[in-house]
């Protein structure tokens, strides 16, 4: 499961939807895997404006990868900045973090209800047991 994916996931438990603690989900016992993917700066640029930066920083820090996250989202420019202000080095780090870093085994834990979503062979299971639906 790519790190980018976790930036768009919240807990599926109904009562967690309104809780700020349910996002982002927190990795537990995560085994990381690096997969090399062709660097596509345009794709990264297009995805950055949709990334929740605080959540990404939290996730990366929990995995010990905070050095790959710039303090500010290079995808959200102010009007005085231009395209060229986006540093290629930052984009490459984010490519590495968001697309090439994946979690093969572990759990994603909700900070509100504590439910643990298992990740097996790189696939997260986000189905809830019947009593929580
Ligand atoms: Zn929850």
56-71 per-position pLDDT tens digit: 999 999 999 999 999 9
24-48 per-position pLDDT tens digit: 999 999 999 999 999 999 999 999 9
Calculate the average pLDDT of the chain.
93
Contact 112, 104 (CB under 8 A): no
State mean pLDDT over 103-117.
97
Question: Could you tell me the distance, in angstroms and rounded to a whole number, from the CA of residue 39 to the centre of ligand 1?
Answer: 35
Q: What is the CATH number of the domain that holds 96?
A: 2.20.25.10
Question: Could you tell me the distance, in angstroms and rounded to a whole number, from the CA of residue 26 to the centre of ligand 1?
Answer: 11
pLDDT of residue 82: 65
Report the alpha-carbon distance of residue 48 to residue 42 in Å, rounded: 10
Question: Could you tell me the distance, in angstroms and rounded to a whole number, from the CA of residue 38 to the centre of ligand 1?
Answer: 35
Lowest mean pLDDT among 6-10, 49-53, 102-106, 126-130: 126-130
How far CA 64 is from CA of 29, 30, 45, in Å, comes to: 13, 11, 24
Look at the chain and report how many structural domains it folds into: 1
């Amino acid at each position: 499961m790519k790190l980018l994916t976790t930036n768009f996931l919240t807990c599926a438990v109904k009562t967690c939807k309104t809780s700020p603690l349910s996002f982002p989900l927190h990795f537990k016992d995560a085994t990381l895997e690096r997969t090399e993917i062709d660097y596509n700066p345009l794709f990264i640029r297009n995805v950055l404006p949709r990334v929740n930066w605080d959540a990404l920083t939290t996730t990366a820090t929990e995995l010990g990868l905070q050095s790959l996250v710039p303090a500010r989202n290079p995808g959200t420019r102010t009007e005085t900045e231009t395209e060229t202000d986006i540093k290629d080095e930052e984009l490459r780090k984010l490519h590495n973090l968001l697309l090439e870093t994946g979690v093969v085994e572990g759990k994603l834990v909700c900070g509100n209800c504590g439910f643990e979503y298992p990740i097996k062979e790189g696939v997260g299971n986000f189905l809830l047991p019947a009593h929580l639906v």
